[in-house]
Amino acid sequence: MTIKKITNCILFSYIFLSVQVIKVYANNTPILFAVGDNGTILKSMDKGEVWINLNISPADPLNSIVFSEDGQIGLAVGGGAGSVSSVVVRSTDRGSHWTAMVLNKLPNLISIAFWGYANVIAVGENGLIINSKDQGLTWNQIYSKNKGDYSDIHIIDDKQAIIVGKNGFVLKTTDGGKNWKNIILTSRTNFASSSFINKEIGYIVGDWASMFKTEDAGNNWIQTSKSNNFNLHMILFANSKLGFVVGDNGCIIRTTDGGSTWKLIRTTTTETLTSMVKIDDLTFVAVGLNGVILKSINGGLSWKQINTHNNISLFDITIAK
């Protein structure tokens, strides 16, 4: 995962590599997982207060992690910038055991999402789009006309999804990923993340604090903000009203009106924040570079820093329910 930081913010060949065994916990406990540099997967059983490092091999950066709706199947993807192989790390028991595989001759994977019970889609550099119909056990490449670097895949419903990427790339499918349409934007912004409030209204964020909004399921986008001060790396809506954006220098921006207005929330870190997850209506955890982890228990109004004694940069966080 490539992060640009601006300091100004107030069927493939598979090689199975390793198996990591971790203590099994009760299935009704929500478990947090964060991924990052050096093949890092961190795990927390107590809503983000204490973390253990699972030390997965190989030591390629892991950029994105996701779990199935039932919390049993976990998948993380990565593979180093400019690399000639992708890495997929898979768990079938709620993160207790992990197996890594290499997808040879494919570039770095950046983002992954479940699309129903068995279908999974992942995107990455050089226009890479791959999908799996068996919960990530085997993969096939989807043809993409574009050779740009994709940053994020967001599932809108059972047929629609949005991919965003560098240089203003926005792709949309309305047939479950069989075909992708290039949505033309005048902006050449490096987009990092997208999130939808419902099937029609959604947002994209990226470099230079850029934010774009759609009200027609991603067919047309209007820019709503831009700044020279900092970059935005992830947007998350907890519900139709409450949303967050994280970015450079510990920036967290919060909305309580569905994105009409946004307020900067002060945090105790100046590290770049890369991802956030909702645990419940009041509890959220954010992660970032150099091992930073922040937690809020009041709906994101204030944040405390969690000391993990770990300075490994983290790129994504998710929950296995």
How does pLDDT run across 162-173, given as a tens digit for each residue? 999 999 999 999
How far is residue 155 CA from its own chain's centroid?
A: 12
Cα–Cα distances in angstroms (integers) from residue 120 to residues 42, 66, 75, 140, 233, in the given order: 22, 10, 9, 11, 23
Asked if residues 263 and 245 have their Cβ atoms less than 8 Å apart, the reply is no
pTM for the model: 0.90
Interval 264-286: pLDDT, tens: 998 999 999 999 999 999 999 99
Give the three-state DSSP class for 154: strand
Name the token pair of 235. 């947007």
What contacts 91, CB < 8 A, 6 or more positions away?
73, 74, 75, 97, 98, 99
Residues linked to residue 152 through DSSP beta bridges, in sequence order: 164
Which amino acid type is present at position 65?
Answer: I
* pLDDT, position 146: 78
Q: What is the pLDDT of residues 179-218, one digit of tens each?
A: 999 998 988 999 999 999 999 999 999 999 999 999 999 9
Distance CA 98, CA 94 (A): 9
The proportion of the chain whose per-residue pLDDT surpasses 70, expressed as a percent, equals: 89
> For the stretch 204-226, what's the b/e string if a residue is b when 16 or more beta carbons lie within 10 angstroms of its beta carbon?
bbbbbbbbbbbeebbeebeeebe
User: CA 232 to CA 209: how far, in whole Å?
Assistant: 5
Q: What is the 3-state secondary structure (H, E, C) of 98-150?
A: EEEEEEECCCCEEEEEECCCCCEEEEEHHHCEEEECCCCCCCEEECCCCCCCE
